[in-house]
A and B are shown apart, each in its own frame.
Chain A
Amino acid sequence: MDTIYHLMEAVLPFEFISYNFMKNALLAVLVITPLFGMLGTMIVNNKLAFFSDALGHSVFTGMAIGVILGIGDTNLSTIAFAVVFALLLNFIKRNNTASTDTIISVFSSTSTAIGLVILSSGGNFSKYSSLFVGDVLSITPKEIGLLVIIFAVTLVFFVTCFNKLHSLSLNTSLARSKGVNIATIENLFAVLIALIVMLSIKWVGLLILNALLILPAAASRNISSNMREYHLFSILISVFSGILGLILSYYLNLATGPMIVIISAVIFFSTLWMKGRVES
């Protein structure tokens, strides 16, 4: 870790880099944002934006279960619950005629409600309110390590399953005709989203996590005309917003996560404008 710190100090001539918490935050941003940019395109393609949001809400129940079972590290219980939640949701979605967004909404609000009831029964719900806005500044090197691992996993998934996932997003019949096992791919992807959402929710915050996942991809989708552009722009926008947001929050003393989202949003609207101009 120290070597990375020294390297960062040598490469970046800015004042903020002299603080370790900023180094950690910057590293985290450098890992999270490309990850989000990449995953975001897949989520947007497969119309799972609402799904990832619902997963975020399951953090309450996951944490509540952790508290009840007395697990010190609630990361474990939240991840476990999120995976179960994602798989169960997928299962019901496949075997039920109700529309997907209805089912997701039911799941999302139910898990929020259960979590709220349990966590607030102690009267000190405020302890958990940091989940809402997140706190990228308190991230530790160990947690950055976890993020790096999940980043690698995502890359592997991306390389091996992207085409299958993509065909699935176009048309399920097409995917089936190409011999894609729809359920497996869907489940794998859902689990991956669950892992990433749960690992980053503490730093990004429930309220804006989804914006970070969706906004870069959505902005990129506005202006790109093929898959390569789509991904490139998405990652570019994501990383740029992350770094600029962090720096701005440092100098202007603003909340980090929301700042990142605001910058992504500005880019989204400018691409929307660009798209309108190109079309006319």
Chain B
Amino acid sequence: MKRKLKFLLSVMLILSLISYGAIKIQGKNKQYQEEGLTIVTSFYPMYIAALNIADGIDGVQVVNLTENQTGCVHDYQLTTKDMRTLSGAQVVILNGGDMEEFMEDVLNQQEEIQVIDSSAGMDFLTGSTHNHSGESYQEDNELYNQYSEEIDHDHTDEESSNHPEDDHDHTDEESSNHPEDDHIHTDEESSNHPEDDHDHTDEESSNHPEDDHIHTNDDSSNQSESSHVHTHSNLNGHVWLNVHRYMQQIQTITEGLCEFDPTHEAMYRKNEDKYLEQLQSIKEEIESIKEIANGAEIIIFHDSFAYLAEELGMEVVHAVNTDGETALSAGEIAEVIEEINLHDIKYLFTEEQYEHTIADRIEAETNATVYVMDSLVTGGVNKDSYLKGMKKNIEMLKEALLKDQK
């Protein structure tokens, strides 16, 4: 017994010593500055934003959580290092829109940390996640399509000829009023869904005058009861891909920082102006391709592109969720292929970080082309990363759209 216990204890001792050595060599804890302000950002896009706003200010450092994270942060687990980082933080910048579910518990525990929700007050699109209810698939698409209607106001003649069923669509669904959705789509119309087209083709085919499209805000909320039961945390939080929204985020963050750290207000403001100016030029570029992009029907393989499409006025016919490890069901792929053929969709937008095998398969079976876009969820640590990534996306879009025009 004694000999064995001795053996066991010596094994433990050796292990402890090895561990101690490993800690000594490797575990030099990066101590964060004791003084000054430590701003912690939840993940990459917020980090880039904060880097720009706090650029060149002494005593203010920006630290990012979820560092080596590839892919979306929905299923991220905080590491001990993240917890330590958070413990030394005074201000935490979040993206909001349910992106930071992994931080909720921790932030609730550490109440002394100031939280800036960069998308505060912003309306979100709904995620592509499919619900348990039968109709949900269509509801999702309706939601996706709703932002494209905004543009239709400018093209009324085209609209009325393209979508003869609009009228019908509203009349029977107008009545269901869902507060949850109302704020998402103020004064946008819920009309011209491709799904509606084929759902209701026999029912109505005449053209409708413009007046049909004038609706109250409630119209856009033509969701069936089931959807808002199942979709609380189903927000699409990838708002940064819409440059306009991203600029709003920058402003919100700056406001928040100025409030918590008034001493550096002037510098934050200066940085903000500079960054917004750069973003403005990106926005102008987007405006320039808006005309050809407008109304183009696309299929996206990552929720984030819904925001890109929103800004460009593209119509997301289907958002395929390849995020995470859930395999698509064979039926859904077939459905997507059918939609592509039906609507003659030419663009499939996939994300760099995920495998595009599914998109490639779909491409092979249809006339559509796969375009790999950057959702800017990860990337180099450089304060111009967002600008560069966005420019690349715009180039890609231009290429896609111009090729198609020829």
Contacts and interface: CB of A to CB of B under 8 A. Distances in A.
B132 interface: yes
Interface in A103-135: 120-127, 129-130, 133, 135
Given A229-B4, A244-B19, A267-B11, A253 B80 contact: yes
Contact of A137 (B15, B83, B325): B83
Contacts of A127: 74-75, 101
Contacts of A199: none
Given A122-B132, A137-B83, A251 B75 contact: no
B128 interface: yes
A162 interface: no
Contacts of A274: 4, 7
Interface stretch (A52-60, A91-99, A188-196, A233-241): A233-241
Interface stretch (B21-29, B162-170, B248-256, B339-347): B21-29
Q: Which among A120, A122, A133, A263 has the highest number of chain B CB atoms within 10 Å?
A: A122
B4 A266 contact: no
Q: Which among A121, A133, A138, A256 has the highest number of chain B CB atoms within 10 Å?
A: A138
Nearest to B75: A126
Given A248-B23, A252-B22, A125 B325 contact: yes
Nearest to A128: B75
A119 to B, nearest CB: 9
B326 A250 contact: no
A247 interface: yes
B324 to A, nearest CB: 3
B130 A251 contact: no
A255 interface: yes
Contact of A138 (B5, B15, B23, B106): B106
A236 B15 CA distance: 14
A266 B14 CA distance: 11
Nearest to A237: B8
B78 interface: yes
B321 A252 contact: no
Contacts of A236: 8
A82 to B, nearest CB: 23
B77 interface: yes
Given A122-B129, A223-B4, A274-B7, A135 B77 contact: yes
B131 A126 contact: no
B274 interface: no
A129 B84 contact: no
A243 to B, nearest CB: 10
B323 interface: yes
A270 B80 contact: no
A123 B12 contact: no
B299 to A, nearest CB: 16
Nearest to A116: B326
Contacts of A126: 72, 74-75, 323-326
Nearest to A274: B7
B1 A229 contact: yes
B130 A123 contact: yes
A130 B128 contact: no
Contacts of A248: 19, 22-23
Contacts of A15: 29
Interface in B1-47: 1, 4-5, 7-8, 11-12, 15-16, 19, 22-23, 26-27, 29
Nearest to A67: B132
Contacts of B105: 138, 140
A124 B12 contact: no
B79 A253 contact: yes
A137 B326 contact: no
A20 B75 contact: no
A140 B109 CA distance: 9
A124 B326 CA distance: 7
B106 A125 contact: no
Given A124-B129, A125-B326, A130 B4 contact: no
Interface string B73-104: 01101111101100100000000000001000
A255 B29 CA distance: 16
Interface in A250-280: 250-256, 263, 266-267, 270-271, 274
B74 A223 contact: no
B27 A252 contact: yes
Contacts of B83: 19, 21-22, 137
Contacts of A251: 22-23, 26-27, 29
Given A122-B132, A138-B78, A271 B8 contact: yes
Contacts of B16: 244
Contacts of B321: 123-124
A100 interface: no
A267 B12 contact: yes
Contacts of B129: 122-124
Given A140-B109, A250-B80, A270-B11, 13 more contacts: A123-B128, A123-B129, A124-B74, A124-B234, A129-B75, A137-B79, A140-B105, A237-B8, A249-B80, A255-B79, A266-B15, A267-B12, A274-B4
User: Which 10 A-B residue pairs are closest in the complex by CB-CB distance?
Assistant: A126-B324, A251-B27, A126-B75, A123-B129, A253-B81, A251-B23, A125-B326, A120-B326, A250-B80, A123-B130
26 contacts: A21-B106, A21-B109, A22-B80, A120-B327, A121-B130, A121-B132, A122-B129, A123-B128, A124-B234, A125-B324, A126-B325, A129-B325, A130-B77, A135-B78, A137-B78, A224-B4, A229-B1, A229-B4, A233-B4, A240-B15, A244-B12, A244-B19, A247-B19, A251-B22, A267-B8, A274-B7
